[in-house]
Structure 1
Amino acid sequence: MALFGKKDEEHAANLVFQQLRLAADRRARFYVVVRTRDGKQHSLPGLIESYEGPTLLIDMSSGVRLSSAWKGQTVECYFRIVAMAPQRTEQHYMFASRILDIRALSTGLIVELEKPAAIESGQRRRSVRVRPVPELVGLLEMWRDEAPDDGPLPLAALEGYLRIAGVPTQCLLGAEGQPAQAPQTPSGPVAESVADPQPGLVDISAGGLRACIAPRAGEDGEKGPLARGDKVVLRAILHWPGGAHQPLDVLLKGEVSTRMHTGSVTGGVDVGVEYLFDGKIDADGTVAWVPVRDGVYRIAQWVNAVYMEYMRKVRSQ
């Protein structure tokens, strides 16, 4: 539902102007979300350069690539306004727009957007990101994806995958939530003992996560076991705040989208992983991979619960 109605168009335009001005004054991060032909969404970050004319100008950094072929395309736009007093609050806004022009500068891009007639209150489901306390993360495991395709995968096949980090699995959820036999730690020179450092969950959203992988003994922390573009299999057990529900146990395929030279743990490496497939396990212990379109709904629910619990604590302080 639109936050600013259209019954009084002049009043609505003034409210839109006020919110955009506030976002510009506070240097709020502004995201333009484009959808490619294969259905993938890409968030392009920027800052509001100008909001006073008939259009909206967004300044994007030199790292952003956007072809002039996107002129005329409809996009989704998101921004948030943070207030620190009397207590920290966040207001999230979104609207649909159309790209009118794309101008290349020496410092990056200027994207000219159609100014919206109304703005809605809301945010992308997959973009809500939280940093969970360690008590909520029961397990995070990661293997290098060595399957030739994205077809059905027997759970036992994970035995032969290179375990990037993590402790041996106790059980994996089988069909209809029943425990199924889990793969054992792979043998051979690539396998490590149960004392392997477990990847630390830095933050997570419905669309991806960031993990810190600590180096193993004798491993080059600078190079590490993963590079951008590598495919991985993830398993995570996430506890609900207050123990409201049974822990969330998910099996996912993903792609390393970012890799930092420094990690959240000294000597470690932070990697960002975008979910590609959500694993559904049948009674035979076979995983069917369902493409992830706009985030994993179960994780979105969990992230929202963690976020709301955090906000309740902030407001009570």
Structure 2
Amino acid sequence: MWYKNRKNTRYIPKDWVLHPDHIANTLNAARDENEKFEVQFHSEGEKRRSATCRMASINGEAVTIECSGLTNLQSDWIGKVVDCYFQTRKFGSGSIFFMFTSPIIGIRSCSDGTAVLNLKLPEKLEQRQKRASLRISPPQQYIMGLAVWSAPDGLICKGKIDIRQWGRPMLTFLPEKSFQIALDNISAGGIKVRIPREEIRNCKLDFKMGDKLFTLLDLWDPDTGQRIRYWVLCRIQNPFVDFVTHDAELGMQFLHTARPDGDNASELCWSEEISESGVESIGNWVMRRHLELYREKGI
């Protein structure tokens, strides 16, 4: 009614939140639930830098977020526009996903290395989720295999590579054979894996944010009755060590894909850089599995 009574009323999509009080309440709900905020910087190319943050406060002019993974703060960030994705929990109905676009109006760095960004209070929220972020925990029978190599420093994603020159993978998952790594969830934009603490010691890697891993992922497609294989270069986005089990959880973003060059499966040819929407075929696979789970189990 607030918008209906205004003059020159225009069409407003039903999934937009426009009333200032409703915007503030939604953002405050996400803060109270300690939900993650993903901030994505605009850039000229398709690939955009992103960071996972948490909301600290909100007032009548700005939204303040804290980002532990952002470094090299620059004064020219003032005025740059970012997209911000987050979710809130709705009792009995799962989560509602929102996004807004807003300029940076202030930056500062804390002594612990945390970056604090002040974003202009948005004029609208959209109920929208990045397609690349729609993720599922796939049924175990659909995971045919997983192998991970540490990508060499200075790797250039052009031309061809022979994976045999990289040696054996440092971590593998093969059903009923090897359980050095587990696939927790997957989306068009990346995967989250879990590594037992004894395997972390054996492979002797720290798994820091920004490290590159080369991954072979084998999935089963029940629609075609065939195995589908992906060679993907990933960037570690969200490394986390469980305080109880000391297992590592790694959120990894897809950067580049590669494909076999001819009949020799070990000789690979780099494909183009992955766009913001992720790997389309993986996104389609995830969407179909999501619908299957929803229809069969109501989740």
- Tell me the TM-score normalized by structure 1: 0.70
Q: Distance in 1 between matches of 2:206 and 2:27?
A: 40
How far is the alpha carbon of 1:132 from its aligned partner?
Answer: 2.1
Sort the Cα spacing of 1:153 and 1:110 in 2 relative to 1 into closer, same or farther, 3 A.
Answer: closer
Amino acid at match of 2:41: V
1:149 pairs, out of 152, 156, 160, with 156
Q: Does 1:22 align with 2:29?
A: yes
Counterpart for residue 253 of structure 1: 233
**Is the contact between residue 4 and residue 15 of structure 1 (CA under 8 Å) also seen in structure 2?**
no
1:275 aligns with 2:254: yes
Instruction: Give the drift of 1:63.
Output: 5.4
The separation in 1 between residues aligned to 2:248 and 2:29, in whole angstroms, is 37
In structure 2, the residue matched to 1:82 is: 89
Q: Is the 8 A contact 1:233 1:252 kept in 2?
A: yes
The reply to whether residue 71 of structure 1 matches residue 97 of structure 2 is: no
Shift of 1:76: 0.2
Structure 1 residues 251, 244: closer, same or farther in 2, change over 3 A?
A: same
Partner residue of 1:101 out of 92, 99, 106: 106
Match of 1:140 among 146, 150, 165: 146
Q: Report the alpha carbon displacement of residue 80 of structure 1 after superposing the two structures with TM.
A: 0.8
- The aligned runs of 1:170-185 (5 Å cut-off) are none
Q: How many residues align?
A: 276
**Paired residue for 2:183?**
201
Instruction: Say whether the 8 Å CA contact 1:140–1:234 is kept in structure 2.
Output: yes
The CA deviation string for residues 17-60 of structure 1, in whole angstroms up to 9 with x for no partner, is 44334334444333322246774421231115114x1x232231
Flag the 1:263–1:284 CA change in 2: closer, same or farther, 3 A.
farther
Query: Partner residue of 1:306?
Result: 289
**Corresponding residue SS for 1:239:** strand
Work out the CA distance in 2 between the residues paired with 1:262 and 1:17: 33
Q: Name whichever of 130-139 and 58-67 sits farther off.
A: 58-67
CA shift in 2, pair 1:123/1:20, >3 Å: same
Task: Please tell me whether residue 210 in structure 1 is matched to residue 192 in structure 2.
Answer: yes
1:237 and 1:143 map into 2 onto residues whose CA distance is 15
- Cα pair distance change 1:300/1:105, threshold 3 Å: same
- Partner SS for 2:50: strand
The corresponding residue for 1:45 is 53
Contact 1:2–1:119 (8 Å) recurs in 2 = no
Q: Distance in 1 between matches of 2:165 and 2:131?
A: 35
Please, which moves more after superposition, 246-255 or 105-114?
Answer: 105-114
Q: CA deviation at 1:122?
A: 0.9
Structure 1 pair 234–263 and aligned structure 2 pair: CA distance change class (3 A): farther
Closer/same/farther in 2, CA of residues 122 and 199 from structure 1, 3 Å limit: same
- Listed as ranges, the gaps of 5+ residues in structure 2 are 1-11
Matched position secondary structure for 1:132? coil
Q: Which residue of 2 aligns with 1:160?
A: 165
Equivalent pair of 1:4/1:118 in contact (CA under 8 Å) = no
Question: 1:98 & 1:22 partners in 2: Cα distance?
Answer: 22
Q: Using the TM superposition, give the Cα deviation of residue 201 of structure 1 relative to its aligned residue in structure 2, in angstroms.
A: 0.9
- Counterpart for residue 125 of structure 1: 131
State the 1:99 CA deviation: 1.0
User: Does structure 1 conserve the Cα–Cα contact (< 8 Å) formed by 2:256 and 2:270?
Assistant: no
Deviation at 1:221, TM superposition (A): 1.6
Measure, in 2, the Cα distance between the counterparts of 1:24 and 1:36.
Answer: 27
SS at match of 1:149: coil
**CA deviation profile, 1:108-130 (whole Å, cap 9, x unmatched):** 55432222222211112233333
Root mean square deviation, CA, Å: 3.7
Identify if the C-alpha distance between structure 1 residues 280 and 26 changes in structure 2 by more than 3 Å, giving closer, same or farther.
same
User: 1:134/1:36 Cα in 2 relative to 1: closer, same or farther (>3 Å)?
Assistant: same
Shift of 1:250: 1.2
In 2, the alpha carbon distance for the partners of 1:222 and 1:69 equals 43
Report the TM-score when normalising by structure 2. 0.74
